[in-house]
A = this chain, B = another copy of it.
Amino acid sequence: MAKLPKSILDLTGYFERLPGIGPKSAARISFYILNAPENFSKEFAESLAVLKERVKICKNCFGVSEEEVCEVCLDEKRDKGVIWVVEKAIDMMALENVGGIAGVYHVLGGLVNPLDHVGPEDLKIEELIERIKKGEVKEVVLATNSTMEGEATALYIKKEIKDLGLEIKISRLGSGLPIGADLEFADQATLSRSMEGRREI
């Protein structure tokens, strides 16, 4: 923006780089912060500065944690026999927010994507297989996205697990119409999945 003080332009530039924030929102946010109490921007800045120092990767499930091992992995009430495999830590949080998951997680750190040169060896798949080899795993839920990359990654992992020759249940998240959705506006692929996955009531 023309004629804005450099410090406002700089801050607006950082906000613009964040996902989902355009130039106008970024400027609006900068002015909001300018008008907010001094301690708000100071504490916000402090919180931002320490984030990457404080947050570690859980050495067991590769989720996020401030300790070596995350809270979920440390939780004695969790069933270590059921592993929910997700792409990234935020997906783990989305599932946790729903509640009711008695198992533990495994964060892959991405999805197989040949166009972006991401192969299975770039993901935490070997580490997942090692966890399964230890023997107490009964079920693996491949909770990757319902996209080409998510499906391909799930299929690859399924094959790797099958190759172990163990008695393990492998599943995917259910596909179909989102709750509240209008059948008329659903895409063909979703509708086709919901037809296959119809359930008796």
User: Which residues of A are at the interface with B, using a C-beta cutoff of 8 A?
Assistant: 1-8, 10-11, 14, 17-21, 25, 27-34, 38, 40-52, 54-55, 64-66, 70-72, 88-90, 93, 96-97, 99
User: Which of these, B2, B5, B48, B70, contacts A45 with CB under 8 Å?
Assistant: B48
Distance of A90 Cα from B72 Cα, bound (Å): 45
Closest residue of B by beta carbon distance from A66: B5
Closest residue of B by beta carbon distance from A72: B3
Chain B hits for A44, CB < 8 A: 14, 48
Distance of A42 Cα from B45 Cα, bound (Å): 9
Number of copies: 2
Q: Tell me, rounded to whole Å, the shortest Cβ–Cβ distance linking A73 to chain B.
A: 10
User: Which of these, B50, B51, B70, B93, contacts A1 with CB under 8 Å?
Assistant: B93
Distance of A66 Cα from B19 Cα, bound (Å): 29
Are the CB atoms of B51 and A2 closer together than 8 Å? no
Distance of A96 Cα from B9 Cα, bound (Å): 14
Q: Tell me, rounded to whole Å, the shortest Cβ–Cβ distance linking A34 to chain B.
A: 6
User: Which of these, B19, B20, B45, B54, contacts A49 with CB under 8 Å?
Assistant: B45
Tell me whether A29 and B20 are in contact in the complex, defined as CB-CB below 8 angstroms, given that A51-B11, A52-B41 are known contacts. Answer: yes
Q: Tell me, rounded to whole Å, the shortest Cβ–Cβ distance linking A123 to chain B.
A: 15
Q: Tell me, rounded to whole Å, the shortest Cβ–Cβ distance linking A60 to chain B.
A: 14
The 23 listed contacts between A and B (C-beta, < 8 Å) are A1-B93, A2-B97, A3-B70, A4-B93, A5-B54, A5-B66, A6-B66, A8-B51, A14-B40, A14-B48, A17-B40, A19-B29, A31-B88, A33-B48, A33-B51, A34-B52, A34-B55, A34-B64, A41-B48, A41-B52, A44-B48, A45-B46, A45-B49
Are the CB atoms of B55 and A7 closer together than 8 Å? yes
Are the CB atoms of B96 and A3 closer together than 8 Å? yes
Q: Tell me, rounded to whole Å, the shortest Cβ–Cβ distance linking A107 to chain B.
A: 11
Are the CB atoms of B93 and A47 closer together than 8 Å? no
Chain B hits for A51, CB < 8 A: 7-8, 11, 30, 33-34, 41
